Amino acid sequence: MDSSLFFPSLISGAAAGTSTDIAFFPIDTIKTRLQAKGGFFYNGGYHGIYRGLGSAVVASAPSASLFFITYDSMKYYLRPLLGIYIMDEQIADTMSHMVSSSIGEVSACMVRVPAEVIKQRTQTHRTNSSWQTLRLLLRNKNGEGLRRNLYRGWTTTIMREIPFTCIQFPLYEYLKKKWASYGDGNRVPPWKGAICGSIAGGIAAALTTPLDVLKTRLMLNEQSIPVMQLLKHIYREEGVKVFFSGVGPRTLWISAGGAIFLGVYEAVHSLF
């Protein structure tokens, strides 16, 4: 990858990920507790709202950097290739953003999933700190091994992230392009990028909430369980409405977080 792409994406992604997770961590905790079995107050209510912050902060910079390094480089190399086979410019742009962001999410999840497992178990008061949760997982009391414990919910996370990113990033890029077309340049200023990111993130978050509920339940489960089996079990015991648990906080968090995440990314990227 060209250094002119690598370093801006690395630094911009790290700044974006860290600032967003620190700013909106309490909303994420509320969302997790709403989605966990037993409900909000059973899993801690408003007490210890910053539990699990350590694992989120440690993973924020590398996971966001991995995403943007992959996303920006894939866009750069993929868009000209798609242009050869797809004559419609908007379709080629959309396909480029969907594929690039999907591959970026898979890369980021290598770091994000273990951090999410640790964070969500700490948020629901399994332990008092991220470090204690990690130590418990390393002890392997359930005998499933380090990989299955740390990467629990990997498949469901990917199932959630790819639809989410396939909605968010093409919409984000489209809104930026349309807004820029009303001005004099090809790029929008960072504050406009932040608004586009907020709108795109909020829409994507609301639509993918059922997948997020499944991901949360899988990560909090003590034993590995097939996704379809868990889906049927939740539906039988709690009904359809539970799959939209936390939709408000999730949409609020990602909408506001999208403004900071993509706004900071645009601002830092514009410095290069």
Between 141 and 95, name the one with better pLDDT: 95
pLDDT over 90 (residue 206): yes
pLDDT computed for residue 22 by the predictor? 85
153-179 tens-digit pLDDT: 788 889 888 999 999 999 999 999 999
Closest-CA residue to 207 (of 172, 261, 251, 153): 251
C-alpha span between 129 and 30 (Å, rounded): 17
User: In terms of pTM, does the model score above 0.85?
Assistant: no
pLDDT over 60 (residue 130): yes
pLDDT over 60 (residue 2): no
pLDDT computed for residue 91 by the predictor? 92
217-261 tens-digit pLDDT: 888 887 778 888 988 999 999 999 999 988 988 898 889 888 988
Confidence of residue 199 (pLDDT cuts 50, 70, 90): very high
| Mean pLDDT (whole number) for 138-142 | 82
Residues 6 or more apart whose CB falls under 8 angstroms from that of 84 comprise none
Confidence of residue 3 (pLDDT cuts 50, 70, 90): low
pLDDT over 60 (residue 1): no
C-alpha span between 149 and 136 (Å, rounded): 10
Tokens standing for residue 255: 């909408």
Task: Determine contact, residues 115/53, Cβ cutoff 8 Å.
Answer: no
